Structures are given as structure tokens and as C-alpha cells.
Amino acid sequence: MSATLCVLFNHAYPNNIPIIKKIYEKRFKNIIFIMPFARNVGDDVITSYRGSFSFQGMIADAAPRLSEYKSDYYVFVQDDVLLNPALNEENIEKYLGIGPKMAFFPQFYSLSGPIHRWFWTTRVVWRLFYSHNSLGGSGAEMALKYLPPKEIAEEKAKRYGISCAPITYDNIENCKVPHFSSSEHTRSLNKSLMDGLFFSAHEKRSIVLPYPFVFGISDFFALHKDVFDEFVHFQGVCAGMDLFAEVAIPSGLMVCAEQVVQCKDLGLEVDWVWGNNRENLEISYLKEKLDENFLLIHPVKLSKMGDSIDKIIEMSSSFHQSTK
């Protein structure tokens, strides 16, 4: 059994590559880095010309090179995610509960609501409901016909308990004002955009998407080679539509894989939470979480960890050796 570890970068941090190699080189034989814009970084680095908003396009760009490895599994992880050191190439099937024609994704969420976990998810409504507009431009109006049939996607969504109900203004209550915006002008503009989308003649309206998409934090996922080609095509189409990556990636896995295993199926936990001191994580905190049933911790900003880097590398190696 073989697996290629594909490390995705939202922004170009080539100085993190040697650190990431040391963390994972004893656990994965093949490690490839996919980085935006930076050129001539190394033979194991694929340059992509995509932004972080639609980083699924990086996967589509890198697919021809990744296919050359002919791996059984492709494991994708963002550079600021620290995986549990117990996970390695040899035990990926057992650890993630996957096999042929299967994939792993932390957790699916319905776009029908409440859409509150991440502001950018609302943009998929603009792209699909108003395929031509002065802000989003065009490009989405013909793309859906290149995805698997809507009926198949709907059946898959039902299998995972995902509602395809209409999206309403009340579903996006916490997305009208982005939590990360300190500009009053930006807040006011965004609320106006949402009001324009969900109100018609001063009455609230619901919106039915033309395709059953889902969303979920997409900084780690894995898939079998049987799923790879169809998944890559799905991501390429969604990148062409400029859909948010955390809609495109889980939707593609849901539709293209025969079965998607999630954390809740295995009793695994993840730590996605941003806190006040996440750039200065204590090693004791990392060890405590990874010693438990945590699959991953995010964000671990390697470029800002300073003297703790050596301890992180040492911890990862010791965990790996203890699980053999």
C-alpha cells in the first residue's frame, strides 16, 4: 500500500518546506508540495497560479504530476495543520477507515443552514443563483453540466443526512457581517449584498441551489486512487466557477466517492479552533491533544513557532516510532 502526502499552501512559505519534510518524512515516502506563485523552489514543489479562496484549483493543476506517483491513496493537508503522528502511510486504511473507492473528510455540513461557520460559504449562492453579476462576473452559468448528474448528487446528500432544502435569509444570520471585518463600510456593504440577494420587493425569499453542494473545513482529507480522476475533474470545474474551496472539496468527495468516512464515524476529534495564542502553542498542549483521540490540530504556524520547531519534529518522530 502506498500514499502520497500532498501539502497545500494558501500562501507561499517555502522556508516551511524543510520543517514539514522532517515532520512527515518517516511516515510518508512520497511528499509533494503545492504552492501558489513561487517558482523554482524545488523538484518536489508544484507551482500553482490560484488564490487561497479557491485552492481546489491547485489540486486540479497538480493532478498530472500527482498521478505519476501511482499511489493507492492521496492525502491532502494544509501546511499549518499538524497531523497526529500515529497516522502514517502504512496504517492509513485502518486509521481513517477507508478502502477502494472511498474517501475521508472530517465533517460535512449542509448549505441549507444555518450557514454560520464560515462567511465565504454564502458566496456560492451568488455564483449559482446569480451567475451573471457585476461583482462575481460570469463563468458559472454553463459549468454545472460538466458535474455528475444532479440526481446522483441528491442521492449522495441524503445518504449523509444532508438537507437540500432552500436557503433562507435567516439561515445566514451570522454571515451578514463578517466577524473578521473591522471596517464599518465593509460591514454595511456586505449586509446590503445579502439583503439584495434574499429580498424581493421587500419580502424575504428562499433560494434553491441548482446543485446540492455541501461545505466543511477542508484543510485535511484523503481519497483512494479510484476516486482521484473524477474528484480532480469536479475540483477543476468548481475552480472555473470560482466557488469557495470549502464548498468544492467536500461536495466533490461526497459525489465522487462511493463512501466518505467522517470523524464522527471513527470517534476522532479535530481542533480547528482559532484562539488568542495559537501562534505560540505550548508543546505540552500539542502533546496532550495528540496523545488523545485528536486527528489533527490547526493552526500550527510553523513560521512563527521559533524554538519550538525542534520539539515538534522530535515529538512527531517519537510518536511515529512508538506506533510501529
**Residue 221 host element (H or E):** strand 220-224
pLDDT at residue 324, rounded to an integer: 42
pLDDT at residue 263, rounded to an integer: 97
pLDDT at residue 254, rounded to an integer: 98
Could you list the mean pLDDT of each consecutive 10-residue stretch along the chain, which spans 324 residues? 96 95 95 95 95 95 97 97 94 97 95 64 78 76 92 96 84 58 71 79 83 93 98 96 93 98 96 64 80 86 83 77 50
pLDDT at residue 170, rounded to an integer: 75
pLDDT at residue 71, rounded to an integer: 98
Enumerate the β-bridge partners of residue 83: 296
Residue 123 · residue 178 · CB < 8 Å: no
Question: Nearest CA to 262 among 146, 130, 103?
Answer: 103
**Measured on CA atoms in the order 94, 97, 102, 106, is the torsion positive or negative?**
negative
SS3 at position 260:
strand
Q: What does pTM read for this prediction?
A: 0.92
